[in-house]
Structure 1
Amino acid sequence: MAHAARHIEIMDTTLRDGEQTSGVSFSPQEKLTIAQLLLTELNVDRIEIASARVSEGELEAVKAITTWAKANDLLDRIEVLTFVDGDVSIQWMKEAGAKVMNLLTKGSLNHLTHQLRKKPEQHFEEVAAVIALGRKNGLDCNVYLEDWSNGMRHSREYVFQYLDFLQHQPVKRIMLPDTLGILIPSEVTEYIGAIVQRYPGLHFDFHAHNDYDLGTANVLEGVKAGAHGIHLTVNGMGERAGNAPLASAVAVLNDFLPSVKTSVNEASLYRVSKLVETFSGVRIPANKPVVGENVFTQTAGIHADGDKKNNLYFSDLMPERFARQRKYALGKTSGKANIENNLAQLGIQLSEADLKLVTQRIIELGDRKEVVTQADLPYIIADILDSKAIQEKVRIEDYVLTHAKSLHPSVAVKVSIDGELFEEHAQGDGQYDAFMNALKKVYKRQKLELPTLVDYAVRIPPGGKTDALCETVITWAAHNKEFKTRGLDSDQTVSAIKATQKMLNLI
Structure 2
Amino acid sequence: MTDSKSHGMNNPSRRIEIMDTTLRDGEQTQGVSFSPEEKISIAKALLERVRVDRIEIASARVSDREKEAVTQINAWTREAGFSDRVEVLGFVDHTRSVDWIMETGGGTINLLTKGSEKHCRTQLGKNLETHTQDILETVAYAHTKGLIVNVYLEDWSNGYRDSPQYVFALMDNLRGAGIQRFMLPDTLGVMTPEEVYASIHDMCVRYPELHFEFHPHNDYGLATANVMAAVQAGAAGVHCTVNCLGERAGNASLAEVVVTLKDKLGVELTVNESQLVRISDMVERFSGKRVSANAPIVGADVFTQTAGIHADGDHKGNLYQSRLKPERFSRVRSYALGKMSGKASLRKNLERLGIELTAEQERHVLKRIVSLGDSKQTITTDDLPFIIADVLESESYQHIRLLNYAITSGLDLESTASIRVAVRGEAHTAAGKGNGGFDAFIDALNQVMAHYDYTLPPLLDYEVRIPKGGHTNALTECIISWDCEHRTRVTRGVHVNQVFASMLATLKLINIELEERQTP
Residue identity in the other structure for 1:385: L
Q: 1:474 aligns with which of 446, 458, 480?
A: 480
Q: 2:364 aligns with which of 357, 362, 366?
A: 357
Give secondary structure in 2 for the equivalent of 1:7. coil
- Tell me how far apart the structure 1 counterparts of residues 353 and 12 of structure 2 sit (CA, whole Å): 46
Q: 2:88 aligns with which of 65, 80, 83?
A: 80
* Contact 2:414/2:433 (8 A) holds in 1: no
1:164/1:216 CA distance change after superposition, 3 Å: same
1:122-141 residue pairs with structure 2 within 5 A?
Answer: 122-141=130-149
* Contact 2:430/2:447 (8 A) holds in 1: no
Residue identity in the other structure for 1:331: G
Deviation of 1:445 after TM superposition, in Å, equals: 5.9
Q: 1:334 aligns with which of 341, 351, 359?
A: 341
Give secondary structure in 1 for the equivalent of 2:203. helix
- Tell me how far apart the structure 2 counterparts of residues 408 and 78 of structure 1 sit (CA, whole Å): 48
Give secondary structure in 2 for the equivalent of 1:103. strand
Aligned to 2:511: 505
- Unaligned residue ranges in structure 2 (runs of 5+): 1-9, 514-520
Q: 1:154 aligns with which of 162, 170, 194?
A: 162
Deviation of 1:422 after TM superposition, in Å, equals: 6.2
Aligned to 1:311: 318
Give secondary structure in 1 for the equivalent of 2:327. helix
* Contact 1:205/1:230 (8 A) holds in 2: yes
Aligned to 2:227: 219
Residue 355 of structure 2 corresponds to residue 343 of structure 1: no
- Tell me how far apart the structure 2 counterparts of residues 5 and 444 of structure 1 sit (CA, whole Å): 58
1:142/1:441 CA distance change after superposition, 3 Å: farther
- Tell me how far apart the structure 1 counterparts of residues 446 and 15 of structure 2 sit (CA, whole Å): 49
Deviation of 1:492 after TM superposition, in Å, equals: 2.0
1:367-406 residue pairs with structure 2 within 5 A?
Answer: 367-388=374-395, 390-406=396-412
- Tell me how far apart the structure 2 counterparts of residues 408 and 22 of structure 1 sit (CA, whole Å): 37
Give secondary structure in 1 for the equivalent of 2:177. coil
Deviation of 1:458 after TM superposition, in Å, equals: 2.4
* Contact 2:12/2:268 (8 A) holds in 1: no
* Contact 1:193/1:226 (8 A) holds in 2: yes
- Tell me how far apart the structure 1 counterparts of residues 447 and 67 of structure 2 sit (CA, whole Å): 42
Aligned to 2:53: 45
1:391/1:325 CA distance change after superposition, 3 Å: closer
Deviations 1:399-450 (A, max 9, x none): 444444445655555554334536363434x543454455456555644354
Q: How many positions carry a matched residue from both structures?
A: 503
* Contact 1:18/1:242 (8 A) holds in 2: yes
Aligned to 2:438: 432
Give secondary structure in 1 for the equivalent of 2:111. strand
1:360/1:425 CA distance change after superposition, 3 Å: same
* Contact 2:494/2:504 (8 A) holds in 1: yes
Aligned to 1:201: 209
1:68/1:433 CA distance change after superposition, 3 Å: farther
1:18-97 residue pairs with structure 2 within 5 A?
Answer: 18-97=26-105
* Contact 2:386/2:397 (8 A) holds in 1: no
Residue identity in the other structure for 1:283: R
Deviation of 1:106 after TM superposition, in Å, equals: 0.2
Residue 158 of structure 2 corresponds to residue 167 of structure 1: no
Deviation of 1:41 after TM superposition, in Å, equals: 0.5
Give secondary structure in 1 for the equivalent of 2:312. helix
Deviation of 1:382 after TM superposition, in Å, equals: 2.4
Deviation of 1:484 after TM superposition, in Å, equals: 2.6
Instruction: Compare 151-160 and 119-128 and name the one that shifted more.
Output: 151-160
Residue identity in the other structure for 2:46: L
Aligned to 2:272: 265
Q: Identity of counterpart residues, as a percentage? A: 51
Aligned to 2:490: 484
1:157/1:451 CA distance change after superposition, 3 Å: same
1:456-475 residue pairs with structure 2 within 5 A?
Answer: 456-475=462-481
1:118/1:438 CA distance change after superposition, 3 Å: farther
- Tell me how far apart the structure 1 counterparts of residues 447 and 369 of structure 2 sit (CA, whole Å): 36
Residue 387 of structure 2 corresponds to residue 418 of structure 1: no
Give secondary structure in 2 for the equivalent of 1:475. strand
Deviation of 1:374 after TM superposition, in Å, equals: 1.7
* Contact 1:414/1:424 (8 A) holds in 2: no
Deviation of 1:188 after TM superposition, in Å, equals: 0.7
Q: 2:121 aligns with which of 102, 106, 113?
A: 113
Deviations 1:119-157 (A, max 9, x none): 001000000001111111221111000000001111111
Deviation of 1:479 after TM superposition, in Å, equals: 5.4
Give secondary structure in 2 for the equivalent of 1:283. coil
Residue identity in the other structure for 1:72: A
1:375/1:162 CA distance change after superposition, 3 Å: same
1:79/1:384 CA distance change after superposition, 3 Å: same
Over the residues paired in the alignment, what is the CA RMSD in angstroms?
Answer: 2.0
What TM-score, normalized to structure 2?
0.92
Aligned to 1:182: 190
What TM-score, normalized to structure 1?
0.94
